[in-house]
Amino acid sequence: MTLLKSLYELAEQEALVDDPDFVLTPVAWLVNVNKDGRITSIDDNRVANTPTGKRKSRLRARSVRIPRPPQRTRAAVAAFMCDKSEYAFGLAVTSSGSTPRDPEELKGRSSLFRNQIELCAVETGDEGAKALLAALMAVADGRQDLALPNDCASNDLFAFVYQPDVDLCVHERPAVSAYWKKLRNEDDASVSPGGFTCLVTGVPVSEPANFPKIKRVPGGMTSGVPLVSFNSPAFESYGWKGNENAPISRAAAEACSTALERLVHPAFPDPRPEHRDETLKPRNIRLGSTTLVTYWASSKAANAEVDMFGVALNSSGDPEIIGELYRSWRRGHRTAIEDTTRFYALTLSGAQGRMVVRDWFETSLANAQNSLEAYFDDLRIVRNTPAPKDRQLSPIPALDALIGSLAPFGNQGEVPVSLATAFVSAAIRGAPFPIAVLQRALERARAEIGQESWADLNRRDARAALIKAVLLRRRRIDPSFARYPEPTEAMDPNNQNPGYLLGRLMANLERLQQAALGNPNASVVDRYFSAASARPRGVFVRLLKNARHHARKAQEDDNVSVGRLARWLDRQIDDIADRFDPRNNGFPAALSVEEQGMFVLGYHQQRHWLWLSREEREAATAEQTAA
Which of the residue ranges 65-74, 119-128, 592-601 would you say has the lowest mean pLDDT? 65-74
More confident residue, 100 or 503: 503
Q: pLDDT per residue over 547-576, tens digit each?
A: 888 888 888 777 878 888 889 999 999 999
What number of CA atoms fall less than 13 Å from residue 592's CA on the CB side? 9
Average pLDDT over residues 107-121: 96
545 Cβ neighbours under 8 A, 6+ residues apart: none
Asked whether the predicted pLDDT for residue 358 surpasses 50, the reply is yes
Same domain? 315 vs 247 = no
Same domain? 259 vs 131 = yes
What is the Cα–Cα distance from 455 to 412, expressed in whole angstroms?
A: 14
Q: pLDDT per residue over 401-451, tens digit each?
A: 899 999 887 777 788 888 888 888 999 899 999 999 999 999 999 999 888
Asked whether the predicted pLDDT for residue 607 surpasses 70, the reply is yes
Of 396, 385, 374, 382, the C-alpha closest to 320 is: 396
What is the Cα–Cα distance from 35 to 215, expressed in whole angstroms?
A: 38
More confident residue, 395 or 338: 395
φ, ψ dihedrals at 486, nearest 5°? -70, 120
The answer to whether residue 153 sits within a structural domain is yes
Distances from the Cα of 243 to the Cαs of 69, 339, 373, 568, in angstroms? 20, 36, 42, 75
The answer to whether residue 438 sits within a structural domain is yes
Q: How confident is the model at residue 366 (pLDDT cuts 50, 70, 90)?
A: confident
Which domain covers residue 315, as residue numbers? 281-482
Of the three residues 234, 264, 294, the one that is the final residue of a domain is 264
pLDDT at 317: 45
Average pLDDT over residues 207-215: 84
What number of CA atoms fall less than 13 Å from residue 540's CA on the CB side? 29
**Beta-sheet strand order (sheet of 292-297):** 284-286, 292-297, 342-351, 354-364
Same domain? 156 vs 228 = yes
Same domain? 397 vs 505 = no
Same domain? 583 vs 459 = no
Same domain? 91 vs 226 = yes
Fill in the DSSP letter of residue 301.
G
More confident residue, 80 or 203: 80
Are 155 and 84 a contacting pair, CB within 8 Å? yes
104 Cβ neighbours under 8 A, 6+ residues apart: none
pLDDT at 560: 79
More confident residue, 335 or 130: 130
φ, ψ dihedrals at 314, nearest 5°? -60, 145
What number of CA atoms fall less than 13 Å from residue 337's CA on the CB side? 25
Average pLDDT over residues 347-361: 87
Same domain? 123 vs 8 = yes
Average pLDDT over residues 117-139: 96
Same domain? 464 vs 506 = no
Distances from the Cα of 592 to the Cαs of 302, 362, 488, in angstroms? 45, 36, 19
Q: How confident is the model at residue 506 (pLDDT cuts 50, 70, 90)?
A: very high
The answer to whether residue 492 sits within a structural domain is no
Q: How confident is the model at residue 353 (pLDDT cuts 50, 70, 90)?
A: confident
Same domain? 163 vs 296 = no
Same domain? 530 vs 455 = no
Average pLDDT over residues 603-612: 93
Q: How many CB atoms lie within 10 A of CB 204?
A: 14
What is the Cα–Cα distance from 525 to 507, expressed in whole angstroms?
A: 8
- Would you call 185 helix, strand, or coil by DSSP? helix
Asked whether the predicted pLDDT for residue 54 surpasses 60, the reply is no
Fill in the DSSP letter of residue 559.
-
Q: Given the DSSP bridges, would you call strands 39-44 and 82-83 parallel, antiparallel or unpaired?
A: unpaired
N residues, the chain: 627
pLDDT at 312: 73
What is the Cα–Cα distance from 456 to 463, expressed in whole angstroms?
A: 10
pLDDT at 602: 97
pLDDT at 53: 52
pLDDT at 208: 79
Same domain? 466 vs 411 = yes
The answer to whether residue 257 sits within a structural domain is yes
Same domain? 151 vs 188 = yes
Number of separate domains in the chain: 3
Average pLDDT over residues 64-76: 88
Of 277, 280, 276, 274, the C-alpha closest to 306 is: 280
Asked whether the predicted pLDDT for residue 17 surpasses 70, the reply is yes
Q: What is the share, in percent, of the chain residues with pLDDT greater than 90?
A: 46
Average pLDDT over residues 123-142: 96
Q: How many CB atoms lie within 10 A of CB 304?
A: 11
Average pLDDT over residues 160-177: 93
Of 15, 72, 68, 47, the C-alpha closest to 262 is: 15
Of the three residues 437, 455, 482, the one that is the final residue of a domain is 482
Of the three residues 447, 482, 517, the one that is the final residue of a domain is 482
pLDDT at 316: 45
Fill in the DSSP letter of residue 279.
B
The answer to whether residue 235 sits within a structural domain is yes
Distances from the Cα of 250 to the Cαs of 72, 236, 350, 608, in angstroms? 16, 20, 23, 60
**Beta-sheet strand order (sheet of 59-67):** 22-27, 59-67, 46-48
Q: What is the longest distance spanned by two Cα atoms in the chain?
A: 104
The answer to whether residue 274 sits within a structural domain is no
More confident residue, 353 or 33: 33
Asked whether the predicted pLDDT for residue 335 surpasses 50, the reply is yes
pLDDT at 112: 96
Q: pLDDT per residue over 297-316, tens digit each?
A: 998 888 877 887 777 776 44
- Would you call 504 helix, strand, or coil by DSSP? helix
Q: Which amino acid is at 303?
A: N
Asked whether the predicted pLDDT for residue 170 surpasses 80, the reply is yes
Distances from the Cα of 388 to the Cαs of 125, 138, 179, 498, in angstroms? 66, 62, 60, 35
The answer to whether residue 271 sits within a structural domain is no
Q: How many CB atoms lie within 10 A of CB 478?
A: 10
The answer to whether residue 270 sits within a structural domain is no
Q: How confident is the model at residue 272 (pLDDT cuts 50, 70, 90)?
A: confident
Q: How confident is the model at residue 277 (pLDDT cuts 50, 70, 90)?
A: confident
